[in-house]
Structure 1
Amino acid sequence: MRKKIFILFILACIIFIIDSKVDNATIDTYFVSSTVPTTLTDTIVYGFWPDWPYLESYQPDWNTLTHVSYSKWILNSDGTLTNPENMSNYYAVRDQAHQHGVKITLCIKSNDPYVMDSVIANHQTDFINNISNSLQMYGADGVNLDLETPTDINSITGTSNVPLFENLMANLHKTLKAANSSYHISLDVPWEIKYVASFKNANLNKYIDSVFLMSYDYCNRNTTAPNSPYDSPIRYDAIDSVCETSKYFNKNQIILGLPFYGYDYSTDSNQPGAKIINERAVSIRDAVNNSQIYGRIWDSDSNTPWYYYKSGDTWHQVWYDDDESLRLKYQYAKSENLGGVGFWALGYELNYSNVWNVCQADFPT
């Protein structure tokens, strides 16, 4: 009898030890999966959809896109969000995206420094909860933060915005991933990231899936210059921006953002570097079509096209991208194993299919 009791006791101890190891393994696995940042395994093709293109008159290349971010929800100083004016258009775009297996994210916009200061100083929880609720309410697959003007010093607290912004992103990541681990979190950063202290923080890469590098608007608006230069021997360009951004984010998190638009500058001459008198944006399709009239010029210092013309007594220079210049940047993104490429903005190409054809050749989905 004693021998049987002893054997039963030994068996019970063994079972207890095994159960404990299984439980601990489960806990350890959960801890790791909830703290290790998401890594990108697939190349992303990310397009921003402004709230004005309508599906009745426009269709992007759904077979090339992987993500569409609908712009824009406006961030207010109390952490609330103002919806786009025409939500029916959002729903139509969302449904089309999902039918094609494309994820849709909500683009949250602010270019007001005080709004940013107020939110990260006093309304972080409100902001995060409003994002979480909106994702669920509008059936979205993630969020894009287009917060373009955070200052170095918070005007409300008088302290650095760097730890405040990091805290916001950490709590946003925790909240959204707990609600749905597949939610995609992306942050927009300017090509001159070196001047934005809040974004120059390597800790942020733990709290985002992608960083959208806005590799456009390089022109200083004083003299004519390329909108999105690449591999330039004389000016800061897309390669420089990627190198700087990769100091703080993993390369496979970086989406190289490219323009589907250019600028028509009124100038004092037809020579590059002329003084800018006025400017207006021009869609990539219109620029390509007009270049066939006025004569496309290839700028070897920026690897982008441009042309000039005269209207009355005023010279105009148009600097833009086309399929050739975009392809160079696509191939660069691929060679550097970046997270992918993206565009501001869908609709500006106006069904100019060449931009999609070259993208599909380099980033087949």
Structure 2
Amino acid sequence: MGRGPRAWARSSGLSLPLLCLWAACGSATSPPVLVSPVPGCPCRDPGLCRPLSGQNQLEVFAFDVGGQDWKHYDWSKLTTIATFGAYDPQLLCHAHANEVRVVLKGAVPIRDIIDQINRTAWVLSKVRLAKSQFMDGINLDLEEAVAYQSAEYFALTQLVKETTEIFHREIPGSQVTFDVAWSPDCIDGRCYDYVEIANSCDFLFVMSYDMQSQIWDDCVAKANAPYYQTLSGVQAYMKLDIDPSKLVLGVPWYGYDYPCTHLFEAGRCALKSVPFRGAPCSDVAGTQIPYKKIMQQVNKSITGRFWDDYQKAPYYIYMVNKTYHEVWYDDPQSISLKALIVKKFNLRGVGMWNANLLDYSKNATAEKQTEEMWTALYPL
């Protein structure tokens, strides 16, 4: 991201109210024009309440679900934070000081925006909120099942177009993004117009995780984000002629803990059949587990860390109340392999769900594990 007047003022020690902007200064002999403080700005430097603009060489997109973990993120790597927790003005100021965008969460039942008047009203309400909180855009996260060419199908496409048009007009340089499943092939019934949506917004965040939401073959525990499945999903988007620069690859910073109805052998944990959206089996049979808890548990498990070379993912087994559990997750090895997909196909960038799932305590082991996860996002 370029170093404009705001960044130069911070590096030089000047505050923006005293900074003479080139366009407003006039001749060298003219008196300087002072920039007025931004009304309602929560930051000490009012320049930090001005929206960021420009495109990064590599997008690193993080979701934040609230709390104070953001104070310990690797700000040297981040470019965008999507706030899915309560609004925190301190987070905004800190992010802008580090040239990192902060964007709203955009979620609305699709049935509520079929009507054009309701749709426009919703978008305008989000623009007003973004302006009042000095944010840099919005991340649209809907994830509902939508039938091909239904009323919802067309309404969703129009929502993305209208959101992008209005945000770009009202907040110059703002960013509008849309979260999509790991593949465009109607995953979980999400039969969207992916081409038009990609054309309309700044980029798609490809949620390359929860890939066992619909298990059609053997009902056994599997990796949350198998490498080749991740790769095939990205390639499927590109086969639709979606420009790779419109794709950000999302990776999981969590895993799934599956209780086994029967453990045949390591890597063959039979699951209770829990149907989901037509599939006879799903990851609903397990529970999500954050990376920080996985790291506390893996070395105390029966097996320690195993590696599945076909799925290119780690897992381990433990027992509680006479029931075997198999935990599949991602770690620096599996994430760095997926991050290389970003480099190979020149994707827009990489991101994760979610940045709060690491251990940000001062424990030396935890600090090393956390640093390795942030580093894994950068392809070699």
Normalised by the length of structure 2, the TM-score is 0.72
The correspondence for 1:217, drawn from 202, 210, 219, is 210
CA deviation after TM superposition for structure 1 residue 361, in Å = 6.0
Helix, strand or coil: the match of 1:353? Answer: helix
Identity %: 22
Distance 1:121 1:153 in 2: 18
Show the 5 A alignment for 1:110-259. 110=108, 115-122=109-116, 123-152=118-147, 159-195=150-186, 199-219=192-212, 220=214, 222-231=219-228, 237-246=229-238, 247=240, 249-259=242-252
Bigger RCO of structures 1 and 2 (CA < 8 A, at least 6 apart): 1
| Runs of 5+ consecutive residues of structure 2 not aligned to the other structure | 1-52, 273-284, 361-369
Helix, strand or coil: the match of 1:175? Answer: helix
1:356 aligned partner: 374
Show the 5 A alignment for 1:317-356. 317-351=326-360, 352-356=370-374
Which amino acid counterpart does residue 240 of structure 1 have in structure 2? S
Distance 1:326 1:241 in 2: 16
Task: Describe the superposition over 1:260-302 as per-residue Cα deviations: whole angstroms up to 9, x where unpaired.
Answer: 1001111123333423245222111322342233311101111
Distance 1:174 1:168 in 2: 10
Helix, strand or coil: the match of 2:297? Answer: helix
CA deviation after TM superposition for structure 1 residue 255, in Å = 0.6
1:104 aligned partner: 102
Moved over 6 A (4+): none
Shift of the 39–190 alpha-carbon distance from structure 1 to 2, 3 Å rule, reads farther
Helix, strand or coil: the match of 2:89? Answer: helix
1:42 aligns with 2:42: no
2:295 aligned partner: 288
Q: Does the Cα contact within 8 Å between 1:284 and 1:349 map onto a contact in 2?
A: yes
Distance 1:230 1:153 in 2: 28
CA deviation after TM superposition for structure 1 residue 54, in Å = 1.7
CA deviation after TM superposition for structure 1 residue 358, in Å = 2.6
**Matched pairs, number:** 295
| Runs of 5+ consecutive residues of structure 1 not aligned to the other structure | 1-37, 73-85, 232-236
Q: Does the Cα contact within 8 Å between 1:116 and 1:150 map onto a contact in 2?
A: no
CA deviation after TM superposition for structure 1 residue 200, in Å = 3.0
Distance 2:192 2:354 in 1: 23
Distance 1:118 1:224 in 2: 37
CA deviation after TM superposition for structure 1 residue 334, in Å = 1.1
Which amino acid counterpart does residue 238 of structure 1 have in structure 2? T
Which amino acid counterpart does residue 132 of structure 2 have in structure 1? M
Distance 2:185 2:378 in 1: 32
Helix, strand or coil: the match of 1:329? Answer: helix
1:265 aligns with 2:258: yes
1:62 aligns with 2:59: no
Which amino acid counterpart does residue 214 of structure 1 have in structure 2? M
CA deviation after TM superposition for structure 1 residue 124, in Å = 1.0
Helix, strand or coil: the match of 1:281? Answer: strand
Normalised by the length of structure 1, the TM-score is 0.75
Shift of the 264–127 alpha-carbon distance from structure 1 to 2, 3 Å rule, reads same
CA deviation after TM superposition for structure 1 residue 223, in Å = 2.5
Which amino acid counterpart does residue 287 of structure 1 have in structure 2? I
Shift of the 153–338 alpha-carbon distance from structure 1 to 2, 3 Å rule, reads closer
CA deviation after TM superposition for structure 1 residue 150, in Å = 4.5
Helix, strand or coil: the match of 1:332? Answer: helix
2:315 aligned partner: 306
Q: Does the Cα contact within 8 Å between 2:184 and 2:191 map onto a contact in 1?
A: no
